[in-house]
Chains A and B, each alone.
Chain A
Amino acid sequence: AQKITQTQPGMFVQEKEAVTLDCTYDTSDQSYGLFWYKQPSSGEMIFLIYQGSYDEQNATEGRYSLNFQKARKSANLVISASQLGDSAMYFCAMRGARGGGADGLTFGKGTHLIIQP
């Protein structure tokens, strides 16, 4: 079975600082994908970034980067130069390999990030 662990229920960060949101995962699959989603207070789920298990380089999307450490089974999200609009819930999620259990994504419990001015 797959499992995603996010150990930071909440974080307070000063505006313009960099933020690292922790995510560790557990899977027996050799091929898998890792995702981060943002959920602002309005409630919608916004896809941020994706990392494949065989990708050699860490994924980046604008101010978001994914610090992928395969041996440690971690996939931390890094937000550079945080902004007030980054305040939201952030979810780490994983998809396993073909044939490995139920489809869809397995989500962690989330980290509530609050950016302070």
Chain B
Amino acid sequence: NAGVTQTPKFQVLKTGQSMTLQCAQDMNHNSMYWYRQDPGMGLRLIYYSASEGTTDKGEVPNGYNVSRLNKREFSLRLESAAPSQTSVYFCASNIDRLAGELFFGEGSRLTVL
């Protein structure tokens, strides 16, 4: 079982470049999330999608956009990358926004020079 799949796993960008992180889940989950993890900060929620067709801001949404393409896929876009966006990004999903644990992808390590 693939679970939650993120691509790419590693990416190096220059300041001002754009990129999209892709996430797909094969568990028929309704809710999907994007988190970032920085040293000493734990995981912080960037955006989430409670169900197909809806997206909402989390704790740290500035500089990011998201698209819930369909029930399986939830992408995160950096329009103009900044060094402060250097981080490890995790996509996660769960069956319902208020039930069950989150299932995480393996993470995507992004470095912005």
- A interface with B by C-beta (< 8 Å): 4, 9, 35, 43-45, 47, 50, 91, 93, 95, 97-98, 102-110
Contacts and interface: CB of A to CB of B under 8 A. Distances in A.
B33 to A, nearest CB: 5
Contacts of A108: 42
A95 B98 contact: yes
Contacts of A109: 40-42
Contacts, number: 60
A95 B40 CA distance: 21
Contacts of B41: 109
Given A103-B50, A104-B102, 14 more contacts: A35-B101, A35-B102, A44-B104, A45-B107, A47-B102, A91-B42, A103-B97, A104-B33, A104-B45, A104-B58, A104-B92, A108-B42, A109-B41, A109-B42
A98 B96 CA distance: 11
A19 B85 CA distance: 35
B44 A103 contact: no
Contacts of A4: 42
Contacts of B44: 107
B42 A102 contact: no
Contact of A104 (B40, B42, B48): B48
Contacts of A9: 40
A95 B98 CA distance: 8
B31 interface: yes
Given A43-B106, A45-B90, A47-B102, A103 B48 contact: yes
10 contacts: A43-B88, A44-B104, A44-B106, A45-B92, A45-B102, A47-B101, A50-B101, A105-B45, A108-B42, A109-B41
